Amino acid sequence: MSLATVILAAGKGTRMQSDLPKVLHPIAHAPMLHHVMHAAADLSPDRNIVVAGHGSDLVSDAAHQIDPTCQVVLQTQQLGTGHAVDQARAALSDFCGIVLVLYGDSPLFQTSTLQALVDKLNDVDVAILGFDAKDPARYGRLITTGDALDRIVEFKDANDEERAITLCNSGVMAAKSDLLFDLLSKLENKNASGEYYLTDVIEHARTAGKTAAVVICAEDETLGVNSRVELAQAEAHFQSRRRRAALENGVTLPAPDTVFFAFDTVLGRDVMVEANVIFGPGVTIENNATIRAFSHLEGAHVADGCVVGPYARLRPGAELGPDVKIGNFVEVKAAEIAEGAKVNHLSYVGDAQIGKHTNIGAGTITCNYDGVLKHKTIIGENAFIGSNTMLVAPVHIGDEAMTGSGSVITKDVPDQALALARAEQINKDGFAKRLMDRLRAIKAKKKDS
């Protein structure tokens, strides 16, 4: 049977205290909406609908980044979750199949859990994902008789007896499209919030003689984000799940709790990530590479056998070939560093290309920016850049060439040449001693007077 997802993302999220629509707040550097869309995409739905309202232009752009074919429908007034789903009615008027309703503020659902819910529709007419809450707080409570779900009561509308129930609504619901839209047209807003609750669909289904059931899932998948505190909790859940996956896939993390991944971090086998490493988006680390402590990486590709850090910074466009070494306090940006090359200490390498097995001495800087434009530094293979060389781009250093320490290189250096671009040294015999004697004499005279 075909599948449509409807993701609710119109709410303002007042408790976030933010100008940004709630569903665009990030977890692991991706908006919550993207996490939900990725989990849904793995079910290969035929249609994706996103219901937008607050900040709808921003929400629509974010949705189209993940699925350019998704349909964004507007809910101009946020009259409740049921009203929100109803906004997809026109977009799905030609659709016949299963509708899966997801919330844009609940970013931790796993695809397998969503699949189990969809599969439940083989047995019942309406199914929801529920969980046993350690602290049920303001979640909707599930009223059941045996395996049957009778109704859902929102916290605000619940009496004490109902509030004591710990079986709660995650918000995720699945039903056949024709039934769902029939039930939605029966909703009323006579409740504590004055909203059209999606959750009331269950009671209407049962009254109409349909069956409803709960599929139980793990509580940590269901976390709904309504505040920054909950956003931080969702981030923590994501990170701990991601760390566990890395460990299970053959990555060594001696201090997993101190390593922070992005939503898209890719790590190979036998990678070692030491303590306090932060991954921004777009990082791939290939097999056998080591990322040493306190490094920060984003938009970088690190090939087999590299060693990066401690205290290294790889910025977008850092492309490290096999067995490259990047040492402490080195920043690399938009630079290709070929196999076996080394940049071991205190350097900035930006807008550059460095050939195989070249050694970049301590304190080397590619002076890539003239205040207006960026320029490129190209260094050949097996070159040796002396410590504290300033490479004023655009500049080209040949294969097997050298630069003397402290040089300011402003002209190209041919293959195998040595470039010296620093003031020549003069030695004055005995001068140091004569100077010190004189200075000490002056000091002694001052003390006496």
Query: What is the contact mask toward ligand UD1 in residues 44 to 63, using x (rule: CB under 6 A)?
Result: -------x-x----------
Say if residues 350 and 335 touch (Cβ distance below 8 Å): yes
In this complex, which beta carbon is closest to Ca ion, that of residue 27 or of residue 267?
27
Give which of Ca ion, ligand UD1, none residue 92 binds (C-beta under 5 to 8 Å, depending on kind).
Answer: none
Query: What's the min distance (Å) between Cβ of 105 and Ca ion?
Result: 5
Cβ-proximal residues to 154 (8 Å cutoff; 6+ apart), any chain: 140, 141, 191, 192, 193, 197, 199
Residues 159-188 within binding reach of ligand UD1 (CB under 6 A): 168-171
Active-site residue, from 38, 237, 345, 357: 345
In this complex, which beta carbon is closest to ligand UD1, that of residue 23 or of residue 98?
23
Q: Does 104 bind ligand UD1 (CB under 6 A)?
A: yes
Q: Does 78 bind ligand UD1 (CB under 6 A)?
A: yes
Of 83, 206, 342, 396, the one binding ligand UD1 by CB under 6 A:
83
Of 140, 321, 327, 355, the one binding ligand UD1 by CB under 6 A:
140
Say if residues 96 and 46 touch (Cβ distance below 8 Å): no
Nearest 5°: phi and psi at 138?
Answer: -100, 15
Query: What's the min distance (Å) between Cβ of 12 and ligand UD1?
Result: 8
Give which of Ca ion, ligand UD1, none residue 139 binds (C-beta under 5 to 8 Å, depending on kind).
Answer: ligand UD1
Query: What's the min distance (Å) between Cβ of 51 and ligand UD1?
Result: 5
345 is annotated as an active-site residue: yes
- Nearest residue to Ca ion, scored by beta-carbon proximity: 224
Q: Does 81 bind ligand UD1 (CB under 6 A)?
A: yes
Q: Does 11 bind ligand UD1 (CB under 6 A)?
A: yes
d(CA 70, CA 93): 15
Q: Does 203 bind ligand UD1 (CB under 6 A)?
A: no
In this complex, which beta carbon is closest to ligand UD1, that of residue 106 or of residue 403?
106
Query: What's the min distance (Å) between Cβ of 11 and Ca ion?
Result: 8
Query: What's the min distance (Å) between Cβ of 235 and ligand UD1?
Result: 17
Give which of ligand UD1, Ca ion, none residue 55 binds (C-beta under 5 to 8 Å, depending on kind).
Answer: none
Query: What's the min distance (Å) between Cβ of 117 and ligand UD1?
Result: 14
Of 56, 60, 71, 75, the one binding ligand UD1 by CB under 6 A:
75
Give which of ligand UD1, Ca ion, none residue 419 binds (C-beta under 5 to 8 Å, depending on kind).
Answer: none
Give which of Ca ion, ligand UD1, none residue 165 binds (C-beta under 5 to 8 Å, depending on kind).
Answer: none
Catalytic residues: 345
Binding site for ligand UD1 (CB under 6 A): 8-11, 23, 51, 53, 75, 78-81, 83-84, 103-106, 139-140, 152, 154, 168-171, 197-199, 224, 226
